[in-house]
Amino acid sequence: MLRSFALFFFVFGCVSKVLCVQGSCGTRSEDAAPQGAVGCGCGQLRRDGAVEPVEDRTASEEPADKYSRGANERLPEGRADEKEMQSQMVLITGGEFLMGTDDPGIPADGEGPQRLVLLDSFYMDIQEVTNQQFQSFVSVTGYVTEAEKFGDSFVFEGILSESVKNQITQAVAAAPWWLPVKGASWKHPDGPDSNITDRLDHPVLHVSWADAVAYCSWANKRLPTEAEWEYACRGGLKDRLYPWGNKLNPKGQHYANLWQGDFPNHNSGEDGYIKTSPVMSFPANGFGLYDMVGNAWEWTSDWWTVHHSTDQQHNPTGPPSGIDKVKKGGSYMCHKSYCYRYRCAARSQNTPDSSASNLGFRCVSREQR
Ligand SMILES: *[C@@H]1O[C@H](CO)[C@@H](O)[C@H](O)[C@H]1NC(C)=O
Ligand SMILES: [Ca+2]
Ligand SMILES: [Ca+2]
């Protein structure tokens, strides 16, 4: 806990927020911050150091190994069905692109400097991994997510039922709209009294970085690097803000599931969705990829740093180690006033064991799967 706070000081240099005692913060306490500098508090969802996972995981039990197809070779029939459950992939033809931006929306996030990156070709899921897809993975492998092991996950206050909200005494000091909710998991995304029955085609949520790695590995895929994700997000456009261009709502249309209204108090749902939307509800980008920005944040394989070399790089994979993993694209909770992170160059971070009601993933692979 101390370490997260120290890091929080370091990253945001914002003393007032740290001193803001749990529960005593006004919900608009971030108004004083530069626009979007702190955002939706998405980076603050760290698990308390005092909370230990139910099981210690040894190296050989890393989810990626344990649940890889190799390790599950003898598992049940139903391969064909399982295959059909997988997301369609699209070829992202390699090439050069300008990663990051010299005109950062949130400089503290390390969006800049803009730098030349060369990537090999790869295939990418056209959609975020859905509840249904994750369910098929779990039913074949018996996988248990980290949120289920910890027994809780972070849920946005605005989507909790009153009865669950009333039982919660803790909050994230810097972002009081995030509540650690017992029993929240991918199966119970809005808390223990919710379910995914009507949301099988929505992005899976409350998955940690390791959970995402385990799923992709099982599917013979992997998480994208940040560079791959950003290149894919840009959809062939150069130096634009969004996957579709520079205008947020071309011709008055919504191109992503974001937040309209007054964050965090009122979501007008003008784009049709207060929470997540079924994947592919908004137009695809030039590469045929859906929901690259908005809907659910997406984990990448890179460790987080805000320092980037301007040297040209080939297939960069980020720093060799770190504390947080990079996530990209923003979510249905992002509004310009708090979380101007639904841009391709934007980025944020979480500890790998974090999970929340706005964070999911998609996979990539070198070959067509
Ligand atoms: C799932 O939630 C819906 C309400 O969102 C409820 O009507 C339904 O009974 C729940 N299903 C289960 C299996 O709990
Ligand atoms: Ca929305
Ligand atoms: Ca997304």
- Residue 195 alpha carbon, nearest atom of ligand 1: 1
CA of 192 to the centre of ligand 1 (A): 11
Mutate to test the pocket of ligand 1, among 197, 199, 202, 276 (most ligand atoms within 8 A of CB): 197
Q: How confident is the model at residue 364 (pLDDT cuts 50, 70, 90)?
A: very high
Neighbours of ion ligand 3 (CB under 5 A): 291, 295-296, 329
pLDDT at position 47 is 74
Q: Which residue puts its alpha carbon closest to atom 4 of ligand 1?
A: 194
Paired with 327 in beta bridges are: 299, 348
pLDDT at position 82 is 59
Question: At residue 351, does pLDDT exceed 90?
Answer: yes
Query: Measuring CA to CA, which residue among 175, 156, 178 is closest to residue 14?
Result: 175
pLDDT at position 42 is 58
CA of 354 to the centre of ligand 1 (A): 26
Q: What is the pLDDT of residues 310-334, one digit of tens each?
A: 999 999 999 999 999 999 999 999 9
CA of 129 to the centre of ligand 1 (A): 22
From the CB of 161, is ligand 1 less than 6 Å away?
no
CA of 186 to the centre of ligand 1 (A): 15
In this structure, is the dihedral angle defined by the CA atoms of residues 137, 352, 340 and 216, taken in order, positive or negative? negative
Distance from C-alpha of 52 to C-alpha of 56, rounded to nearest angstrom: 8
- What is the longest distance spanned by two Cα atoms in the chain? 57
Q: Which residue has the higher pLDDT, 309 or 44?
A: 309
- Residue entry with tokens 């708090």: 338
Q: What is the pLDDT of residues 31-86, one digit of tens each?
A: 333 333 344 565 667 776 433 333 444 444 455 566 665 554 444 444 556 556 89
- Residue entry with tokens 């998405």: 42
Helix (H, G, I), strand (E, B) or coil at 153: strand
Query: Measuring CA to CA, which residue among 195, 213, 231 is closest to residue 115?
Result: 231
* Ligand found nearest the CA of 255: 2
Whole-model pTM? 0.84
Question: At residue 184, does pLDDT exceed 80?
Answer: yes
pLDDT at position 176 is 86
